[in-house]
């Protein structure tokens, strides 16, 4: 039985302490130090891993298996302008906590630590509890969780199951658990032709024509009908730029940006090869030159429903009084790296205000999330 809500370790002061660290990617700005101090007091062994400018933290309580890991990030996106209060003041107004990281996802980290503190006050896990935290999730995500996991594996460290605190909920806290995420591929295409007068097109090579042919061909293909747990993959052209202010000039260059959110039917490499073939064929027909660049990419992950997801659903139902659904929608997360080392899922607060000006969450939702995480630990080690 969980402790009463009035006596559970309160995650709010810790959440505020974390949010007052201006840890805009890739700077940790003291946030990892706040976590390290809390976990050290609980008996965790903490170690930092630095890759480039990025600090990462791994902490473990116990030596035995299984090893249950809480994972997440302390970095946040830049605050932007127009806030009603200092985005790093962590103010509470009318029962809501305002500031960067309120939804994504310093509050979840605080809830994880509060849950762990409360659980350890009344039980000793038959196994280990660990934390894996980075300052690189909101940025390129190449010097954070990914190399840290590789370093841990090289040291013989094994994680059995992992819960990431990304803001997964939609209408109310606990209504969605992410047991997968789609992959994402961003590609830029530039066509180069020969500038000329529109009245003499035979003397020029218009790069806009093969670029539009490329876009049309890419959009015309039906990528798939979906995959287990996933909606159909989708391609969207996000920008077409020429930069031509004149009506009577055929431009020298034209560029296009696109994104594909893809399921487990595809790999980023195969999709890029297809895009490259289509673009090169269109350029060759027009006598133009083409260059392509991958702006970013991430792989999909999928945890097949089973004992681990059943445990999470039972814990959420216990804490929130309603059963969540499993989903694979939304953006990417570091779970795409964790999947290669452990079964992984995501559970956190509502994502409605994530990355927005005046980002906020309900104070009581954070406390309930802490009780939910405690229920996960209790069931995992029962």
Asked about 137 being catalytic, the answer comes back as: yes
- Residue 9 is given by DSSP the state P
Average pLDDT, the chain: 96
- Residue 20 is given by DSSP the state T
Q: Kindly report, residue by residue over 65-91, the tens digit of the pLDDT.
A: 999 999 999 999 999 999 999 999 999
CB 338 within 8 A of CB 145: yes
Q: What is the pTM of this model?
A: 0.90
- Contacts for 274 with CB less than 8 Å, ≥ 6 apart: none
CB 278 within 8 A of CB 217: yes
CA dist list (Å): 28 to 10, 18, 76, 217, 355: 23, 10, 9, 44, 18
Catalytic residue among 10, 28, 36, 137: 137
Q: Kindly report, residue by residue over 142-180, the tens digit of the pLDDT.
A: 999 999 999 999 999 999 999 999 999 999 999 999 999
Query: Which single residue is written with the structure tokens 């406390």?
Result: 367
- Contacts for 152 with CB less than 8 Å, ≥ 6 apart: 58, 132, 159
Quick one: what percent of the chain has pLDDT higher than 90?
Answer: 95
Q: Kindly report, residue by residue over 307-365, the tens digit of the pLDDT.
A: 999 999 999 999 888 999 999 998 889 999 999 999 999 999 999 999 999 999 999 99
Token digits of residue 252: 């020298």
Instruction: Name residue 235's beta-bridge partners.
Output: 260
Asked about 75 being catalytic, the answer comes back as: yes
CA dist list (Å): 317 to 14, 86, 170, 173, 176: 25, 36, 16, 11, 11
The pLDDT value recorded for residue 331 is: 84
Q: Per DSSP, which regions of 165-222 are E strands?
A: 176-178, 180-181, 183-192, 196-197
The pLDDT value recorded for residue 117 is: 97
Token digits of residue 323: 């059963």
Catalytic residue among 28, 38, 55, 75: 75
Q: Kindly report, residue by residue over 15-56, the tens digit of the pLDDT.
A: 999 999 999 999 999 999 999 999 999 999 999 999 999 999
Domains by residue range for the chain, with CATH: 12-181+301-380 (3.40.630.10), 183-298 (3.30.70.360)
- Residue 202 is given by DSSP the state G
Alpha-helical runs (H) found in the chain: 12-19, 31-41, 106-120, 145-154, 208-220, 268-286, 307-320, 335-338, 363-380
Separation between Cα atoms, residue 116 and residue 122, nearest integer Å: 10
- Contacts for 188 with CB less than 8 Å, ≥ 6 apart: 255, 256, 257, 292, 293, 295
pLDDT band at 7 (very low <50, low <70, confident <90, very high): low
Token digits of residue 363: 């104070």
């Amino acid at each position: 039985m969980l402790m009463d809500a009035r006596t559970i370790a309160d995650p709010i002061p810790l959440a505020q302490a974390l949010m007052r660290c201006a840890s805009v990617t890739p700077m940790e700005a003291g946030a990892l130090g706040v976590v390290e101090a809390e976990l050290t007091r609980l008996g965790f062994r903490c170690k930092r891993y630095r890759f480039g400018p990025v600090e990462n933290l791994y902490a473990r309580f116990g030596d035995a298996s299984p090893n249950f890991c809480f994972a997440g990030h302390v970095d946040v996106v830049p605050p932007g302008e127009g806030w009603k209060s200092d985005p790093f003041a962590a103010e509470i107004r009318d029962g809501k906590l305002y500031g960067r990281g309120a939804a994504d996802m310093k509050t979840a980290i605080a809830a994880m630590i509060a849950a762990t503190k409360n659980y350890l006050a009344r039980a000793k896990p038959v196994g280990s509890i660990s934390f894996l935290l980075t300052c690189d999730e909101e940025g390129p995500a190449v010097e954070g969780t990914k190399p840290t996991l590789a370093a841990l594996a090289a040291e013989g460290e094994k994680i059995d199951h992992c819960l990431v605190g990304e803001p997964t909920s939609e209408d109310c806290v606990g209504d969605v658990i992410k047991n997968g995420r789609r992959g994402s591929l961003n590609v830029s295409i530039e066509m180069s032709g020969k500038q000329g007068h529109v009245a003499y097109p035979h003397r020029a090579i218009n790069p806009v024509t093969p670029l539009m042919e490329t876009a049309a061909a890419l959009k015309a293909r039906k990528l798939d009908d979906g995959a287990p747990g996933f909606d159909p993959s989708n391609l969207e052209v996000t920008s077409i730029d020429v930069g031509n202010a004149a009506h009577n000039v055929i431009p020298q260059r034209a560029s296009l940006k696109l994104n594909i959110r893809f399921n487990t039917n595809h790999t980023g490499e195969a999709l890029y090869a297809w895009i490259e073939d289509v673009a090169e064929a269109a350029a060759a027909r027009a006598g133009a030159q083409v260059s392509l660049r991958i702006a970013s990419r991430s792989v999909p992950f999928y945890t097949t429903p089973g004992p681990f997801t059943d445990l999470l659903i039972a814990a959420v139902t216990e804490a929130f009084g309603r059963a969540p659904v499993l989903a694979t929608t939304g953006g990417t997360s570091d779970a795409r790296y964790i999947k290669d080392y452990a079964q992984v899922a995501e559970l956190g607060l509502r994502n409605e205000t994530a990355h927005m000006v005046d980002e906020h969450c309900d104070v009581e939702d954070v406390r309930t999330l802490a009780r939910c995480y405690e229920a996960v630990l209790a069931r995992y080690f029962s």
